[in-house]
Structures are given as structure tokens and as C-alpha cells.
Structure 1
Amino acid sequence: MNLKFLFGVFTVYGVLFIHVKAEEDSSEEVTLTKQQVFDYLKILKKCELDSGAKPKYIRNSIMGRFKPEPKFKDYLYCLGNSTGLLDKEGNIDKKAFLHKTNSLIKDKEQAEKIVNSCLSQEADKPTAIFNTLTCYNGMRSKI
């Protein structure tokens, strides 16, 4: 997989997955070091390999086209698990999701509406994160 493709995936998923463990009350802009970017790119590659997700599904998701394919769901689950978006039980951590959404959408009421509308806690955890991120992507594109 080439670096340009990985960077594209990084820019799309990075907004949700990087620094979800940041302090809840922090309103500071987050600047990533080269090492943090490198570490995140390693996570992307590891999750791709571990899940067996097809690169075309990952590429399509960059453009907002999410395919409900099991291995792609596993890829998203791996990203969430590797970056702190999931709690210890593997469910989406609402606080982390809301915090990250608030850092991207300055209107806190709008951010909370998106999180409450999109948060999925289905029994099948990869499906839950897939549904949550698909909804999030759709609602965010309307803002």
C-alpha cells in the first residue's frame, strides 16, 4: 500500500480516532508530532492486515462510501479499539466519541445531536462501529 493512500485514510479516520483519549475539558488544538503520525500510520496498516479488509473498501470509505462488508467492519473496529474510541468491553465510548466530535464541530449542541443520533451499541461490535461511523459521516457532510 502506498504512502499517499495511507495518508488519505489517515486524514479521514484520523479526525475521529486520533487523540480520543485527550482530556475531556481540553479545548486546545492538537498538533501531532511526526512520531504520532508514524504510529497512527502503523495502526492503519496493522488493522488492514489483521482484518483482511480489501483496500478498495478502505479507499471508498475515504470518499464517504461505506460497504457493509464484515472485514471492513473489523477494520473499523480495530481502529476504534487501537485508538481508545472503544471502552474495555469493546463498545463505543460515548464520552470519547462526543469529545472528538466536539473538537471537530464547534457547535456543541450540534455535536451532541450527531453523537446521540449516531451512537450504536449493537451486540455485534464491528457492526456497531460501522453503523455509528456511517451515520456520523452522513450527518457531518450535511453541516
Structure 2
Amino acid sequence: MKFLVVAACVLLTVQALTDEQREKLKEHSTACAKSTGVDPEAIANAKKGTFSDDEKFKDYLFCVSKKIGFQNEAGEIQKDVVKQKATVALKDEKLVDEIIKKCAVVKDTPQNTAFEVAKCYYENNAKHSSLV
């Protein structure tokens, strides 16, 4: 149960989401950006594979991860939710299982877990899709 894809997150490939899911994701992202004070540039860069080691960015990833159900308030990963949503996004259950196995590394804080998994997810899918 120790996996996060987004980050945190934390977020799925936008192209694979329905319009309703995209809108909800945008709402979560906006709310988390506002509540954490993250630099919008950090979010934009993460979409391109450059992840800022900034605490506000990590807080943002954890916030989004909680809102989309990947982590609970305690920071525990909700593996079933992650697998279901990532499989829809990537359309490859075997790849998702491999990513989960490789990226399911719990760190010292929920924020660091969200951060490291988001990076790992980006680096380990051929589409280089971002979760943010």
C-alpha cells in the first residue's frame, strides 16, 4: 500500500482523462497551489520533467495526491486507487505494475514520498507523462 503516482501529485496524464476529470484535476491543482503558495513555474517545469526540490512544491504534490485519493491524510498510499487511475492513463497494466514496483518507495515524509514518486513515474513511462 505504499505507492504514489503525483503526487503527487501527484496527477494522471491529461490526455487520458475525461473532460470532467480534467476539470476536477484543475480545481484540485488550483486549490493546492493557492493553499501551499507554490511557484507556478515549479508546476510548469515538472510537466516537462524538471522537479524542483522546493518544500512548497512538495507540499503542493502531497495536497493534490490527497485530493485525488492517492494518499490519505496520514500520507499512506492508496495502492488500489493509484493502480486503477494509472492503468486508465497509461493503458498498460503491466507497465503500471512495473512502475508501482519500482516507484513505491516510502520516504521520511508524505511530501517527500509524493515528490520522489512523481519523479519516478515521469522517468519510467515512455510517454514521459507527468502527474502534475
Q: TM-score range by the shorter chain?
A: 0.7 to 0.9
Deviation string for 1:73-121 (max 9, x for gaps)? 0000000011111135322212211222222333322220111100122
Secondary structure of 2:19's counterpart equals coil
Identity across the alignment (%): 24
Unaligned residue ranges in structure 1 (runs of 5+): 1-11, 18-28
Q: TM-score, normalised by structure 1?
A: 0.71
Report whether the alignment pairs 1:15 with 2:12: yes
- Within 5 Å, give how 1:36-75 maps onto structure 2: 36-75=21-60
Out of 88, 100, 103, the position equivalent to 1:118 is 103
Out of 60, 69, 76, the position equivalent to 1:91 is 76
Q: 1:142 to 1:41 in 2, by over 3 A?
A: closer
Unaligned residue ranges in structure 2 (runs of 5+): 1-8
Whole-angstrom distance in 1 between the partners of 2:106 and 2:19: 30
Whole-angstrom distance in 1 between the partners of 2:56 and 2:22: 24
Whole-angstrom distance in 2 between the partners of 1:62 and 1:103: 19
Deviation string for 1:18-61 (max 9, x for gaps)? xxxxxxxxxxx86333xx54443222111001111111111101
Larger CA Rg, structure 1 vs 2: 1
Whole-angstrom distance in 2 between the partners of 1:66 and 1:141: 18
Q: 1:52 to 1:103 in 2, by over 3 A?
A: same
Q: CA RMSD in A?
A: 2.6
Which structure's residues are more often helix, by fraction?
1
Give how far 1:13 is off: 6.2
Q: Which has the higher contact order (CA 8 A, sep 6+)?
A: 2
Q: 1:37 to 1:108 in 2, by over 3 A?
A: closer
